[in-house]
Every structure is written in C-alpha cells, then in structure tokens.
Amino acid sequence: MSQGSNSSTLRQYNERVVISALRKAGAASKADLSRLMGLTLPALTRIVDDLEQRGLIEKSGRRSQGVGQPSHLYQINDDGLYSVGIKLGRQNIEFVLANFAGHLLAKSTNDYSSPAPSDLLTIIEQGVAHMVSQLDAAARTRFVGVGIAMPWFIGKWAEHNEMSDDVAAQWAAVDFAKELEARIDCPIFFENDCSAAAAAELYFGKGKPYEHFLYIYIGSFVGGGLVLNGDLERGIHSNAACLATIPVPCSSLDSRAREQKWDTLINRASISTLIAHLNFHQITINHISELALVIDENRSLVHDWMVDCADSLVHAILCSIGFLDLEAVIIDSELPNYLLSELLSMVRRRLTSLQQQHLFIPQLQQGSLGENAIAIGGAILPLYSHFAPDKTVLLKGGVPDRLSNH
C-alpha cells in the first residue's frame, strides 16, 4: 500500500511524516506537504488541522505565491510536547529538559567515579523529578516520558579499569529497567548513546539535509550511529555502527604499547586515549572537563594525539563506505569546538588526498550539538517513539542483555 493512501491504518504514519517534514523544512504549507507526501490536498488538510488542534504544530505566517490567497505556513509547536533526556556516561550523568523542537529548557550534571546501579537509580529518580518540577501544570500534561541514552555492556567496564569487579557484579545482578520503572511513573525508553546522538543530529542538527550518513561521536570512548533512508538504523541488536571495535593500524603514540599488529578504533580515537597520553607525559588529569586547563601548555602532545586520531578515523571511514554508499559523515565530540574543527580539517585533508577510484568519498561535516548531543538524543526518544516516521519500536521498559555483564 502506498505511503499516500488515505487508509486509516496509515494515518498515524502520515502524521509522523508531516512532523518529520516540518522538522527538516522549518516551515511548509499544506500544498508543500501534499506534494511531498503524495496525499490529496483534502486528506493532507485533515491531518494538518488535527495536528494543529492537538497543539503539535502551529501557523507561522503566510506565503504569497502567484494569484490567489496567500498560503498558511506551518511549523512545529515548540511547546507541543516535553521530555527529559538523560546521558548516562562513564564519568557523569547529564539531565536535560527539552521541548518538542529539541530546545533545552534546563540542564544539570552529576559527576561520579564509578556508576553503581543503586546510586544511579537514586540519582535518576531525583534528577527526573527536579526536571519535571520546572514545568507548569499545563506543560506537565504534555510531558511524554524519559529517554536514557547510554553505552551498552556497562557490566564489562571493569575490563577497561573503569569500575571495580564489585560494581560490575552489581550490574550483572540488577534488572535496571525494572527497578527504574518502579521509581518513575512515566514511560521510559533506552537507546545506545551514540545512536541517540545520531537521531538528535538527524532531527535538530547538521543531519537534516541528508538521507544517508554515518555519525561519529568522540567522547570518553568513540562510538557511532547510522542513518539510512532518513531514519535511524538501529540494527538487529540495536548496535548498528558500533565503531569502537573497527580494526585499525597500530597507534604511533609513544604512550600506546604495540603488542600486536593491529588495534581498534576505541584505542585511538577516544578522549580517554588523549588523557592517557597526557598522563603518560606527567600531565595529570582524570576527567574530560579538565582538558581546558592543560591544552594551551601542552599543544604538541594534544596535536600528536589528534594526528593519530585523524589517521584512525580515515581508516574507519574508508572501511565504512566500502560497505555503505553514504552522502556524508558527521563527526561531533565533547572536545572544545576549536579542537574538533582542527581535527576535522586533518581528516578532510587526508580523505581529499586519497586516490580512491572505486569509492565515492562522502561529505565531511562537523556536528552541531557537541557535549549536549547524547542528552538531547535521550530527550528525543519519547518523542521519536510517537512522531518519527520509521516503524522501529524503541527499547521501552526492558533493558537488553548487552547492558549487563552477561
């Protein structure tokens, strides 16, 4: 059955396409949307009028074009819905309160050294309550849930010396989603952190013009997300574009041991590797937030890591486009904006210099959401489940095995 069918079974899908189209276009008329979706104008009008009545979209002015009455333009209503996004990271947890347009209304962060599940349950319960309390009574009726963007395989972080064996055992024993649902009375959604960030870039950032792109996020550890045909591609195990394990040549850094003939991207394109490189040279820092304090006096060490990182990213990008014919690669990071721009220039120069006769080199773009990308991605999850045009069901309620140590 075609997308433009008036069948009631596709009405919700068509509503989602309207919402998605308005996110990308910013504003559009009913005639614009009718042509885009292949729906008759009367059918499209019913959908738009219903969305407007429900407060999800609103008029944004008129456009004169030729003879006749000017056309009303429609846009997303910022206050149509609200959600809380959570970035559950290795060194901190970040909460954001976002509206339907993805604008941040509030933000808070808690740092920790090792994320024990019992502590996180309490932190999340209190953090969500604090965020929701900032909405007035009318806005709370439009609150649709909590999205948690987090790395998979938390219980295995002990292998990277990021948590004790005792804390890892606690993760293996707990049903985190069940415990959380007992504390928070609203829908809860889980997603891989970098896939969530890719969705945020797709809907609110540099990904809007593209239908097919690879998303790379350089945080404590590098990760990725994949967008195909304008939708987030999650994969069978919700782990598509798991770039961390891509094999790459060994690092040239003197702080990296060369015990084998190849390495993985996680060990070359992660901020944790930069911190380890600085520590190796007696520049003692423990957290990403401390980088700004030491960068200026240690630019040569930072530059060495950036060269090594850029080389490994080029290798990973070439491997990816060998399988996927992509329009763009979007790279974002927790790095300061000027460092990320410099890193992208390095990657771009290397890609441009390659003589690849059998590959189309995609455009390289810098992401626009930075350190907030993952938390905004979390905030999207409740909205995405209701109003994204793809038919993928997000991980509502249950946390899969890959979040534990099993």
The full DSSP string for 28-56 is EEHHHHHHHHT--HHHHHHHHHHHHHTTS
Q: What are the counts of helices (DSSP H) followed by strands (DSSP E) for the chain?
A: 13, 16
Q: Which two tokens stand for residue 370?
A: 């930075």
Q: What is the reported pLDDT for 3?
A: 45
Q: What phi and psi, each to the nearest 5 degrees, are found at residue 365?
A: -125, 145
For the whole model, what pTM was predicted?
0.86
Q: Which residues contact 190 (CB under 8 A, 6 or more apart)?
A: 147, 148, 150, 177, 381, 394, 395, 396, 399, 403
Q: What is the reported pLDDT for 392?
A: 42
Residue pointed to by tokens 């009726």: 141
How far apart are alpha carbons 281 and 265 in whole angstroms?
Answer: 22
328-333 and 57-63 beta bridge pairing: unpaired
Contact 57, 81 (CB under 8 A): no
How far apart are alpha carbons 245 and 255 in whole angstroms?
Answer: 20
Query: CA 395, 398, 403 angle in degrees (round to 5)?
Result: 85
Q: Which sign does the torsion angle of CA 92, 96, 102, 104 carry? A: negative
Query: CA 378, 383, 386 angle in degrees (round to 5)?
Result: 135
Residue ranges in the chain whose pLDDT is less than 70: 1-9, 64-69, 155-163, 355-357, 386-406
Go through 56-92 and write b for each residue having 16 or more CB atoms within 10 A of its CB, e for each that does not: bbeebeeeeeeeeeebebbbbbebbbbbbbbbbbbbb
Q: What is the reported pLDDT for 289?
A: 82
Q: What phi and psi, each to the nearest 5 degrees, are found at residue 147?
A: -115, 130
Distance of CA 93 to the CA centre of its chain: 15
Angle subtended by helix axes 299-323 and 337-353, to nearest 10 = 50
Q: Which two tokens stand for residue 12?
A: 């919700």
Angle subtended by helix axes 271-280 and 299-323, to nearest 10 = 150
The amino acid present at 128, given as its one-letter code, is V
In the chain, the domains with their CATH numbers are 8-76 (1.10.10.10), 82-196+374-403 (3.30.420.40), 206-368 (3.30.420.40)
How far apart are alpha carbons 234 and 72 in whole angstroms?
Answer: 36
Contact 265, 244 (CB under 8 A): yes
Q: How many CB atoms lie within 10 A of CB 263?
A: 19
Go through 341-358 and write b for each residue having 16 or more CB atoms within 10 A of its CB, e for each that does not: eebbebbbebbeeeeeee
Q: Which two tokens stand for residue 387?
A: 């109003």
Find residue 223's DSSP bridge partners.
Answer: 217
